[in-house]
């Protein structure tokens, strides 16, 4: 029996060589269609079978018991080669009796996913995290620096616009060429200490009251001097 896997054959025709025990070589060409079904079996001369439908092989052998050369034996010996049924894909297929299972030996890519979350690092790079486990860089936040940042004009809602005093914007990555770094997920808070400012305000108010008393006292003394002169 000769087994051929047409699915793994490089061409639609496959050459099969059969060697008998005496070394005689017999070559046949097995032809399949584009679906892998057996179509024909031919030898080098184009013949495939004798009048009885059997594939013909050229061979010679010796019978050890009789020590006789049977090369000239007029009786043909039968050798059956099962290549399946021509035009059928299932007759020549053998499968073990077990449940069919599918195993993935390798994976190239990800399943469909949606953006679940994202994060921003100090360089402004935005990284997206997807539901299928994929992590990809989405983009990067650009920053602008000015020659005179105090020359920017207020545009409202804590926004500023470029002006002649500020100079042109120099746009680039954060942390480069004097640009600040990005602190993601943080809220900007006031840098004023309320308790210290209230204390300074009270001290200023007391000082003003003291100065007012001093001026009032000086004014009273001046009036007294003027009264003595009269």
- The pLDDT tens digits for 10-52 are 545 555 555 555 566 667 777 777 776 766 777 766 555 555 5
pLDDT tier at 153, thresholds 50, 70, 90:
confident
In this predicted structure, what is the pLDDT of residue 63? 47
Across the chain, how many H-helices and E-strands are there?
A: 1, 12
pLDDT surpassing 80 at residue 143:
yes
Per cent of the chain over pLDDT 70 is 58
The whole model's pTM is what?
A: 0.35
How many CB atoms within 10 Å of residue 28?
Answer: 21
Structure confidence by residue, pLDDT tens digits, 95-135? 667 777 777 777 777 888 899 999 988 888 999 999 988 89
Categorize the per-residue pLDDT at 1 as very low, low, confident or very high, splitting at 50, 70 and 90.
very low
Structure-token pair, residue 51:
């009048």
E-assigned strand segments in the chain: 13-19, 25-32, 38-43, 62-63, 68-69, 115-120, 125-130, 135-140, 143-145, 153-156, 159-161, 170-172
d(CA 47, CA 55): 8
Q: Where are the alpha helices (DSSP H) in 94-184?
A: none
3-class secondary-structure state, position 181: coil
């Amino acid at each position: 029996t000769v087994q051929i896997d047409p699915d793994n054959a490089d061409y639609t025709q496959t050459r099969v060589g059969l060697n008998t025990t005496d070394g005689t070589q017999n070559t046949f060409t097995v032809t399949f269609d584009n679906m892998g079904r057996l179509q024909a079996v031919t030898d080098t001369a184009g013949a495939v079978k004798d009048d009885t439908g059997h594939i013909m092989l050229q061979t010679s052998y010796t019978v050890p018991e009789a020590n006789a050369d049977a090369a000239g034996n007029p009786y043909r010996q039968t050798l059956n080669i099962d290549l399946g049924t021509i035009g059928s894909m299932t007759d020549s297929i053998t499968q073990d009796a077990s449940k069919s299972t599918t195993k993935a030996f390798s994976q190239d890519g990800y399943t469909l996913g949606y953006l679940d979350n994202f994060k921003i690092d100090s360089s402004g790079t935005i990284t997206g995290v997807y539901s299928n486990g994929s992590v990809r860089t989405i983009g990067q936040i650009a920053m602008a620096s000015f020659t005179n940042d105090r020359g920017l004009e207020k545009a409202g809602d804590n926004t500023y616009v470029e002006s002649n005093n500020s100079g042109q914007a120099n746009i680039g990555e954060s942390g480069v060429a004097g640009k600040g770094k990005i602190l993601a997920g943080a809220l900007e808070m006031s840098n004023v200490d309320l308790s210290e400012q209230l204390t300074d305000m009270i001290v200023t108010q007391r000082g003003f009251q003291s100065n007012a008393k001093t001026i009032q006292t000086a004014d009273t003394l001046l009036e007294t001097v003027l009264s003595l002169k009269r």
